[in-house]
A and B are shown apart, each in its own frame.
Chain A
Amino acid sequence: MTPTDFGSMLFVFVLATFIGLGVIRRVSRLLYTPLMSLTNAISAIAVVGSIVVTGADHPLTIRILGAVALFASMTNIVSGFMITDRMLKMFKKQ
């Protein structure tokens, strides 16, 4: 593994946070509950790390930890997106 270029990683983090703050501030106040379940599903992007740990040729115990993490992330993805959509369907103007 090449050493992490932590300068550019921190750069990405700071910019993404500012975009996040800007976008979230505009979210309709009606939708804070679905917002939370949507961001929850999005942060389950940890699934990417879990897949690498589970699927690569690692010792068994490491892969078991990865598989549990993958299960947890996948649960969040599935339930997060589904319940967000279920709630958003209910918001009707008239």
Chain B
Amino acid sequence: MRLIGDLSAVIVTALFIFALYWMNDPKTARRGVIAGVTGMTIAVLATWFQPGIIHHGWIILAIVAGFAVGVPLSRVPLTAVPQRTALSHAFGGLAAGLVGTAEYFLWLGEPGGAHFTTFRTSALVVEVILGFLTFTGSLMAAGKLQEVRWIPQRPVTYPGQNVVNIGVLAIAVALGVILVLHPTAPWSGQVFIAIAALALLFGVLLIIPIGGADMPTVISILNAYAGLAAVAMGFVLDNKLLVTAGALDGSSGLILSIIMCRAMNRSFTNVLFGAFGKAQPAALKGEQKEWKQETVEGVAQLLEQARTVVIIPGYGMAVAQAQHKVRELYDALTKRGVTVKFAIHPVAGRMPGHMNVLLAEANIPYSALVEMDEINPEMPQTDVALVIGANDVVNPAARYNKGTPIYGMPIIDADKAKTVIAVKRSKNPGFAGIDNELYVLDNTWMLFGDAKAVLADLVKQFGSGGIH
């Protein structure tokens, strides 16, 4: 039996590695899903048919319930994918935390406490802390992304916040050390519950000061935590498959976190402990420049005469659900021989790769989606840069204004295009609470309105009767 278990673990690990390997190209990526599903099925069956498993009804019930919730969750609109992802990190954390809790009290109930080796109890403490903080932290993140009414969207900060947060975590870790030293003392059960409660609290406190623009990084970090919680569970249960699969998930979260942090020119600690909203809004020095507004007809004319157009989408496009209208504009322009490309900033949207998925949903070929580093050298030769619902990622102040919270963040060089058109819902500043200098440049024209409505009007200009 042990042999079958080990053998299946090796096969499943190999399948998972192939699944991730095939993600290196959109052409092979769907094979990865098949490999993943196959691996997971083998893992579930090999575990289920072990001799010690007798309560099959319970397992079937939980699996059916998992399908009942999982299938609808996989059909959410793609604009809601960030909150679905956060929710699934929450489920992953919850599972780890609960299994850890169950194992602890199971072993506590057995005489002698022979299970509590230093290594295993330490892993158990790590599993429970990581699992439960990932659970509440991800729930908070999902709530913020879903714009649930009683969770504040804007970062909430108060004096001494970091001291409180780190203090709560420090107490949890200290109690963990006590538990490792005295796993079976009469009061150890209470200590364990206190650790779990503090971890749950810490998850909430950690996300309270986080704002929307930081979500791509925070979701990636929570992804890494969920993976590491699975690794810790593997240590506790002496299960190598949990360790390898958790490590794959953890390293994925780690790499994405690093990429997101680099794309914002910030460090991990800065994202987690340096609430974005706290930075002093930069006072615009000197004269307050005014923006120039353009009509839909005027913009249509500009686009029609352009040879190259670069569209820069941002979270505003997702909010307005404008990706299908963007596609219609893309079609209208390419039909007229205009070269249209999309410039994708790594942190545009609310999670890594968010814009790519939305544009792919609207049937825009992925060959037209260009990363920031590749598009920037082309920007000076671009006739029109069309900014749709993006703000901070095109703000030239990031290059030189040390007073702005976005200072040092690499941006898409929209301002270097010959003409800039910015579609913007309202005249309010962007997430970071700062004015965007792009909007008041001499070559920039503003188009105010809901992105979807504005683009629909624009597309109409290219239809019958408008421009020929």
**Contact surface of A with B, Cβ cutoff 8 Å:** 1-6, 9, 12-13, 16-17, 19-21, 23-59, 61-63, 65-94
When distances are taken between beta carbons in the complex, the residues of chain A under 8 Å from B61 are: 67
Does the CB pair A83–B20 fall under 8 Å?
A: no
Q: CA–CA, A34 to B55, complex, Å? A: 35
Question: Quick one: given A20-B250, A44-B95, A77-B40, are A32 and B70 in contact (CB under 8 Å)?
Answer: no
**Which candidate, B175-183, B251-259, B414-422, is the interface stretch facing chain A?**
B251-259
B226 to chain A, nearest CB (A): 6
B351 to chain A, nearest CB (A): 6
Tell whether B231 is near chain A: CB-to-CB under 8 Å.
yes
Tell whether B294 is near chain A: CB-to-CB under 8 Å.
no
Does the CB pair A89–B30 fall under 8 Å?
A: yes
How many B residues have CB within 8 A of the partner chain?
115
Tell whether B73 is near chain A: CB-to-CB under 8 Å.
yes
| Chain B residues numbered 45-102 whose CB sits less than 8 Å from any CB in chain A | 47-48, 50, 52-56, 58-59, 61-63, 65-67, 69-71, 73-76, 78, 81, 84-85, 88-89, 91-92, 94-96, 98-99, 101-102
Interface SS, B side:
helix
When distances are taken between beta carbons in the complex, the residues of chain A under 8 Å from B32 are: 38, 84
Does the CB pair B98–A88 fall under 8 Å?
A: no
When distances are taken between beta carbons in the complex, the residues of chain A under 8 Å from B59 are: 51, 54-55, 67, 70
Does the CB pair A12–B240 fall under 8 Å?
A: yes
- Beyond A19-B248, A73-B66, 17 additional pairs, beta carbon < 8 A: A26-B24, A32-B256, A33-B81, A36-B353, A42-B249, A51-B44, A55-B59, A58-B102, A59-B109, A65-B99, A67-B58, A71-B66, A75-B91, A80-B70, A90-B357, A91-B360, A93-B366
Does the CB pair B33–A38 fall under 8 Å?
A: yes
The closest CB in chain B to the CB of A66 belongs to B102
Tell whether B164 is near chain A: CB-to-CB under 8 Å.
no
A-B contact pairs, 21 of them (CB 8 A): A4-B119, A4-B120, A6-B120, A20-B249, A21-B251, A36-B85, A43-B248, A43-B250, A44-B40, A53-B103, A58-B106, A74-B66, A76-B95, A79-B71, A82-B75, A84-B32, A87-B78, A87-B81, A88-B26, A91-B366, A93-B365
Tell whether B264 is near chain A: CB-to-CB under 8 Å.
no
Does the CB pair A45–B120 fall under 8 Å?
A: no
Tell whether B207 is near chain A: CB-to-CB under 8 Å.
no
When distances are taken between beta carbons in the complex, the residues of chain B under 8 Å from A27 are: 20, 23-24
Does the CB pair B235–A6 fall under 8 Å?
A: yes
Does the CB pair A82–B71 fall under 8 Å?
A: yes
Q: CA–CA, A31 to B352, complex, Å? A: 9
Q: CA–CA, A6 to B367, complex, Å? A: 47
The closest CB in chain B to the CB of A56 belongs to B52
When distances are taken between beta carbons in the complex, the residues of chain B under 8 Å from A25 are: 255
B408 to chain A, nearest CB (A): 21
The closest CB in chain B to the CB of A37 belongs to B85
Tell whether B148 is near chain A: CB-to-CB under 8 Å.
no
**Contact surface of B with A, Cβ cutoff 8 Å:** 12-13, 16-17, 19-21, 23-27, 29-30, 32-33, 36-37, 39-40, 43-44, 47-48, 50, 52-56, 58-59, 61-63, 65-67, 69-71, 73-76, 78, 81, 84-85, 88-89, 91-92, 94-96, 98-99, 101-103, 105-106, 109, 114-115, 117, 119-120, 219-220, 223, 226-227, 229-231, 233-235, 237-256, 346, 351-354, 356-357, 360-361, 363, 365-367, 369, 371
A7 to chain B, nearest CB (A): 10
Question: Quick one: given A33-B351, A33-B356, are A16 and B247 in contact (CB under 8 Å)?
Answer: yes
Does the CB pair B20–A68 fall under 8 Å?
A: no
Q: CA–CA, A33 to B369, complex, Å? A: 15
Q: CA–CA, A33 to B115, complex, Å? A: 40
List the 3 closest A-B pairs by CB distance, nearest first: A74-B66, A78-B70, A32-B353
Contact of B30 among A37, A50, A59, A85 (CB under 8 A): A85
Does the CB pair A74–B223 fall under 8 Å?
A: no
Question: Quick one: given A37-B88, A93-B366, are A28 and B24 in contact (CB under 8 Å)?
Answer: yes
Q: CA–CA, A76 to B109, complex, Å? A: 31
